[in-house]
Structure 1
Amino acid sequence: MDKKLQRNLTKWLKSQSKLAKRWLILSVGLGFLSGLLLIGQAAFLAHILHQLIIEHTDKYQLVGSFFGLIVIVGLRAVCSWGREICGYRCGEQVRLHIRQLILNRLHALGPAYMKGKPAGTWASLVLEQVEEMQDFFARYIPQMSIAVLVPLVILFAVFPLNWAAGLVFLITAPLVPIFMALVGMGAADANRRNFKALQRLSGHFYDRLQGLSTLRLFNRAEVEAENLHAASHVLRKRTMEVLRLAFLSSAVLEFFSAISVAIVAVYFGFTYIGELDFGHYGTSVSLFTGLFILILAPEFYQPLRDLGTFYHAKAQAIGAAESIVEFLNTEADEMSAGSEELPSPETIQINAENLEVLSPQGQVLAGPLSFDINSQEQIALVGPSGAGKTSLLNALLGFLPYRGSLKINGIELKELDHSEWRQTISWVGQNPLLVHGSVRDNITLGNPLATDDHVSQVARQAYADEFIGRLEQGYQHQVSDRSGGLSVGQAQRIAVARAMLQNGGFWLLDEPTASLDANSEHLVLDSLAMATKGQTTLMVSHRLDQLSVMDRVLVMENGKLVQNGHFDHIKHQGLLADMLANTDKRDLDA
């Protein structure tokens, strides 16, 4: 990874930690207090041993010292517990904020952008990669301050007693972070590669899992299993790279810490046998001084060792942050929204003038288009695949940006409150989405405050009550993900009932009968005809024989509007005539 990029990512991560400044300060404060108590603990322990071994003091005279030692040990345990809690809260608060940033960005970019990547990739970005930042905010950031404060306090306690031991601490301390940085230079790259492999595996696995039936029918299940095995092998290899660097870093830190403590121990050993006579201030080195400094010696390096251990968390967070920051900084045109209220939402009129629908990357998907949809008018939108029909629908829904003019009841769509605008839309697509829950839950998705009588009414109007009544638990029948347990026709009728419950002034229908059998298609069309009577309606349709009942037909080709008029007036000319001729030919061949 480029060093400049790594510095920028580190800076971004640290800027996020300011959101949990209170928890961060508490965590550092408790760590510093624990360091102060540690000095007191070492002093009590050294004092007790000195009195017992050198002064031969009766142990009953040291009850106060024993009690003080117990109290300090207890207080240190409380500080450690509090520090863990504060660190976790710090990481939790920052993770919630980062996850909210991602979700807000996804919301701004819209469904059209999200379809560009597999669902597993988004799941990995929102879940796994954000979670991998926990230790960075909970442990590494507080430990950076503690690794400076606690050793300084120990140096202030050691130097007045023995300058030689203090000098050893002062000289050897920088070696730990220096070698930590050297070992960790490749850790961020290893973590970045690991997250990329995880994203690929997640997306690959989720997509193949969704299409498992198709893969088995085409005898591709074993081949895809091999592909998954290869992707998992890459992830395993990348993970082992990360672990290897983590263990190497820990081993290096332990080595230098052990060497430094050994130097101090050897110095005091030779001092006590009279081979060395320096480091003190004109007095002999007492047992208290030696024990006190030797007890503090490993604790002097412990914050630095902990920082080295948590340095892996920093590399992990930088690797995760790369994809997140890259996504948050994605240059994509967003569908801008205003705050104006929609006048007369009960009746919808749409006017488009030189409308160009754009992709999130700024490419023209359809247009320029100029058309009007009058209040209570029933409009059909037809055209071959790739004509731009779906792009136009996404623009109307506020999911894609546009240039030109697109007015709803005289107000530019960019200036409208999109949440309010979508509340006026009753939408039925060709692939009904049913969420995990009961049949009633899926109907009331359009209005969670609806009463049972209202739910029963729309179910009856959508001809959904006829199969709901046959279900063992009726409206409480549990529907699994992706409409599991219901046929496509049944799911579509629930979707129609949901749209009726929404009771919007504008009905937007995207080939609502594309995947239905003849009986289900008849029932859905009847229910839709009843629901959209007197309502402004735009229906994308592949059934050209149904166009005669519509007030007007819009025909699109290659992103342009090529025909606009009543079916009887335009059916003998242009693209619509060709489409009808091809349909008639297919019917004859069948």
Structure 2
Amino acid sequence: MPVADEPRGGERAAGRWLLDQARQARPAMAATVGAGLADTVLVVLQALLIAWVIDQAVIRATPLAELWGALALLAAVFAARAGATWARAAAGARAAWVITAAVRRRLYRHIAALGPVRLQGHHSGAVASALVEQVEALEGYYAHYLPQMVLAVVAPLVFIALITGVDLLAGLLLLIAAPLVPLFMALVGMGAARLSRRQQQSLARISAHFLDRLRGLATLRIFRATDAAAEAVEGAAEEYRRRSLSVLRVAFLSSAALELIAAISIALVAIYVGFSLLGYLHFGPGPELGLFAGLFILLLAPEVFFPLRRLAQHYHDRAAAVGAAAEILELLEDPLPAADEPAPAAPGPVRRDPQTDLPVPDPRPLGFHRVTVAFPGAEAPALDGLELHIPAGQRVVISGPSGAGKSTLLHLAAGFLRPDTGRVTIGESAPAAGAVAWVGQRPWLFHGSVRENLQLADPGADDRRLRAALRHADLDGVIAALPEGLDTPLGEDAYGLSGGQASRLALARALLSGAPVLLLDEPTAGLDPDSRERVLAAVARLADGRRTVLMVAHDRDTHDWGDRHLVIEAGRCVEDRRA
């Protein structure tokens, strides 16, 4: 496909995807359209009543007392129209909520299934933007544009048919003018969708740009680069402003042009009806046109264009949704790993220590069976036919030069990666959530209390179980000394704790998970000797023959900590030394 055709093809794919999502809220979408059609019927009844009342009062000199029934019915129609408008808005909001919630769930699950390794090709700021702003950009499409697209076809045809039944010439005038509105919208929409997608891409870039600078604020201050970073953020914001104004400019100009078409068309009909009533026209059905029929036509003529004008007003919702959908699809189309491994067995009942109430898992063996992993663009595979068996309950330390494949080994064991060839097993099954616990070099602790961070692994854990886990991690005294104990709030990325304390809190969380395999990625890196010894002692208590431990460590003092020391070089195990 030529490069010039790619944006159009992407827009068509995004449009089809948007329509497919609407099936998830069919009842709410049908209710939205139904309320709009009910309003269409009420508009006709309203025009009939107004024309009849004026005709009776002016032409037939009917006393006001005889018109109260018609006026009361007209008031009821007004109230019914208000109710239909409310019902339509409520049903549209419900449809948008159902669909955007489903899209956000699907997108989040897809991101979770991709895992941290496959997501490295996407910036976290852009991913966050897709989950929040770009999903929210779909709301207007489902709440307003899609139902209005149906009404913009049905309602004008109903009105034109009724007007044609009253006066053929007036109906033909409207029939010729009405299609000009969607035709012009289609011409404008070709550029509006592209502008909107560029706006969404700019939003994703500014989100990623700002998040990068925020995370690296300390580095920027050290190198006196804060002013340059602020200017870069300002430049990205200015680009987003320009692209947003481009989208709004197209929306406003298109609305003005469509209003002009509608105004000219209604004016032509009004001139025709006025001249007919004054007796200046002596051809066609004009001479026979009465006040009742003329008023009915004049009242319905603007309603022919009103659904089309509303569609034009919401056309920017479509443009925004198409642009957002293209960005969302870019994430959703990132292929998931093939599920060619046997499904993990359902976990059995959790055994617990009667004294501490902590989980007591059954250790499982870990196997790498002729595993090869190659990354795109790499000169050599990260792992090359690796054959490795780790018995249940064994503590294994892995070392080797940078780029040797150590982290890839851990990612395979965690299920973040699938091997290109060979297979990885924990027991008899493929790696899966619940079978492994992970503690990295910089364990991630969420913004929240100590309790909330621990209960991430065991939502039902009470204070007794939480304190027992902290005691095993040699952290109970530290947490008890905090101002609010377990309820002490922590900042994002373990702000409020030292590096060693954060590692031990992550180990306590791993203990609560009850996972039989513990994966550690340099948990002692950057720690002073005392903190390192505390972390290693906590890991030893955590393992205690009940967990299989796989730890990557560069520190030579840590190499002899385990039952076994493996050296990985160029994707192969070149040394296997047992304690």
Structure-2-length-normalised TM-score = 0.92
Q: Which runs of 5+ in 1 are unaligned?
A: 568-590
543-552 or 248-257: which moved more? Answer: 543-552
Superposed displacement of residue 402, structure 1: 0.6
Alignment partners' CA distance in 1, 2:323 and 2:509? 43
Shift in CA distance, 173/407, structure 1 to aligned 2, threshold 3 Å: closer
Shift in CA distance, 343/122, structure 1 to aligned 2, threshold 3 Å: closer
Counterpart check, 1:380 vs 2:392 = no
Shift in CA distance, 400/140, structure 1 to aligned 2, threshold 3 Å: same
What residue in structure 2 maps to residue 519 of structure 1?
530
Contact kept? 2:395, 2:549, Cα under 8 Å = yes
Out of 30, 36, 58, the position equivalent to 1:31 is 36
What residue in structure 2 maps to residue 178 of structure 1?
183
Shift in CA distance, 318/331, structure 1 to aligned 2, threshold 3 Å: same
255-264 or 463-472: which moved more? Answer: 463-472
Shift in CA distance, 37/279, structure 1 to aligned 2, threshold 3 Å: farther
What residue in structure 2 maps to residue 550 of structure 1?
562
Contact kept? 2:399, 2:559, Cα under 8 Å = no
What residue in structure 2 maps to residue 510 of structure 1?
521
Alignment partners' CA distance in 1, 2:100 and 2:475? 43
Contact kept? 1:382, 1:389, Cα under 8 Å = yes
What residue in structure 1 maps to residue 370 of structure 2?
354
Out of 172, 179, 184, the position equivalent to 1:167 is 172
Superposed displacement of residue 367, structure 1: 2.3
Contact kept? 1:334, 1:400, Cα under 8 Å = no
Alignment partners' CA distance in 1, 2:144 and 2:49? 29
Shift in CA distance, 185/481, structure 1 to aligned 2, threshold 3 Å: same
Alignment partners' CA distance in 2, 1:549 and 1:154? 84
Shift in CA distance, 306/360, structure 1 to aligned 2, threshold 3 Å: farther
The C-alpha deviation readout for 1:203-261, integer Å capped at 9, x for no partner, is 01011111111111111111111111111111111111100100011011100000001
The C-alpha deviation readout for 1:290-310, integer Å capped at 9, x for no partner, is 111111111111011111112
Shift in CA distance, 79/510, structure 1 to aligned 2, threshold 3 Å: same
Contact kept? 1:350, 1:406, Cα under 8 Å = no
Alignment partners' CA distance in 2, 1:251 and 1:207? 41
Alignment partners' CA distance in 2, 1:271 and 1:376? 97
Alignment partners' CA distance in 1, 2:103 and 2:339? 22
Out of 509, 531, 550, the position equivalent to 1:538 is 550
The equivalences for 1:104-143 within 5 A come to 104-143=109-148
Alignment partners' CA distance in 2, 1:361 and 1:254? 55
Contact kept? 1:333, 1:360, Cα under 8 Å = no
Contact kept? 1:348, 1:409, Cα under 8 Å = yes
Alignment partners' CA distance in 1, 2:9 and 2:512? 54
2:322 aligned partner, one-letter code: I
Out of 475, 480, 491, the position equivalent to 2:486 is 475
Out of 73, 81, 89, the position equivalent to 1:84 is 89
SS of equivalent to 2:281: coil
SS of equivalent to 2:392: coil
SS of equivalent to 1:565: strand
Superposed displacement of residue 116, structure 1: 2.7
The C-alpha deviation readout for 1:517-539, integer Å capped at 9, x for no partner, is 23222221222222222132211
Superposed displacement of residue 12, structure 1: 1.9
State the superposition RMSD in angstroms: 2.1
What residue in structure 1 maps to residue 314 of structure 2?
310
Structure-1-length-normalised TM-score = 0.91
**Deviating 4+ runs (over 6 angstroms):** 342-345, 360-363
What residue in structure 1 maps to residue 3 of structure 2?
none
Counterpart check, 1:438 vs 2:449 = yes
Shift in CA distance, 28/503, structure 1 to aligned 2, threshold 3 Å: closer
Superposed displacement of residue 142, structure 1: 0.9
2:396 aligned partner, one-letter code: I
What residue in structure 2 maps to residue 151 of structure 1?
156
What residue in structure 1 maps to residue 357 of structure 2?
none
Superposed displacement of residue 412, structure 1: 4.7
Out of 2, 14, 22, the position equivalent to 2:19 is 14
Shift in CA distance, 335/382, structure 1 to aligned 2, threshold 3 Å: farther
Contact kept? 1:165, 1:264, Cα under 8 Å = yes
Contact kept? 2:206, 2:237, Cα under 8 Å = yes
Shift in CA distance, 528/143, structure 1 to aligned 2, threshold 3 Å: same
Identity, % of aligned pairs?
A: 39
Superposed displacement of residue 117, structure 1: 2.4
Contact kept? 2:441, 2:521, Cα under 8 Å = yes
Superposed displacement of residue 501, structure 1: 2.1
The C-alpha deviation readout for 1:530-577, integer Å capped at 9, x for no partner, is 22221322111122123223221111122222211236xxxxxxxxxx
Contact kept? 2:138, 2:320, Cα under 8 Å = yes
SS of equivalent to 2:382: strand
The C-alpha deviation readout for 1:276-303, integer Å capped at 9, x for no partner, is 123428x632111111111111111101
Counterpart check, 1:369 vs 2:381 = no
Q: Which runs of 5+ in 2 are unaligned?
A: 1-5, 349-360
Out of 249, 252, 266, the position equivalent to 2:254 is 249
Shift in CA distance, 70/364, structure 1 to aligned 2, threshold 3 Å: farther
What residue in structure 2 maps to residue 390 of structure 1?
407
Superposed displacement of residue 338, structure 1: 3.9
Counterpart check, 1:401 vs 2:418 = yes
What residue in structure 2 maps to residue 588 of structure 1?
none
The C-alpha deviation readout for 1:115-145, integer Å capped at 9, x for no partner, is 3322110011111111111111111111111
The equivalences for 1:191-590 within 5 A come to 191-280=196-285, 284-331=288-335, 333-334=337-338, 338-341=342-345, 346-359=362-375, 364-408=381-425, 411-413=428-430, 418-419=432-433, 423-534=434-545, 535-566=547-578
Superposed displacement of residue 335, structure 1: 6.2
SS of equivalent to 2:504: helix
Shift in CA distance, 481/256, structure 1 to aligned 2, threshold 3 Å: same
Superposed displacement of residue 360, structure 1: 8.6
Superposed displacement of residue 484, structure 1: 2.1
Alignment partners' CA distance in 2, 1:392 and 1:335? 19
1:371 aligned partner, one-letter code: L
Superposed displacement of residue 449, structure 1: 1.7
Contact kept? 2:341, 2:429, Cα under 8 Å = no
Alignment partners' CA distance in 2, 1:141 and 1:426? 46
Alignment partners' CA distance in 1, 2:106 and 2:8? 25
What residue in structure 1 maps to residue 355 of structure 2?
none
Superposed displacement of residue 364, structure 1: 3.9
Contact kept? 1:189, 1:319, Cα under 8 Å = yes
